[in-house]
């Protein structure tokens, strides 16, 4: 059974940092893309960043480019989202997702999803 378990969310002041983790289990993800989405109250789910397990190539949304970094630890089967210079607009539930297809993942149609972790940025 495939599981994606997010952790690392919390409450932080504007300008602060958080690192989210997504621990993957249940299969080999070497041929997969894994990424992060977020959904704020009353808004649609938004793509944040993605990474290919095999090559380490990363893709980051323009809205967070320069502030957020995605990385992975193959040995731990874990993907990270380092979030710096956080703004109140970054407040959302952050979801981890994984799919064999990067393009399918980026449009939000990933095969696997985590339960989400809340990130709240206070002004």
Q: Which pLDDT tens digit goes with each residue over 84-118? A: 999 999 999 999 999 999 999 999 999 999 999 99
Rounded Cα distance, 25 and 28, in Å: 8
Q: What is the mean pLDDT of each run of 10 residues along the chain (123 residues)?
A: 94 98 89 96 96 94 97 94 98 97 95 97 96
Look at residue 27 in the predicted model and tell me its pLDDT: 84
Alpha-carbon Rg for the chain in angstroms: 13
């Amino acid at each position: 059974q495939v599981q994606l378990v997010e952790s690392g969310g919390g409450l932080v002041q504007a300008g602060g940092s958080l690192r989210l983790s997504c621990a993957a289990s249940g299969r080999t993800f070497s041929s997969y893309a894994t990424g992060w989405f977020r959904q704020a109250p009353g808004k649609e789910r938004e793509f944040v960043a993605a990474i290919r397990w095999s090559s380490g190539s990363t893709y980051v949304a323009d809205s967070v480019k320069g502030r957020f970094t995605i990385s992975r630890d193959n040995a731990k089967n874990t993907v990270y989202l380092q979030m710096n210079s956080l703004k109140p607009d970054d407040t959302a539930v952050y979801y981890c997702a994984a799919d064999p297809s990067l393009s399918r993942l980026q449009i939000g149609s990933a095969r696997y999803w985590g339960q989400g972790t809340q990130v709240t940025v206070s002004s």
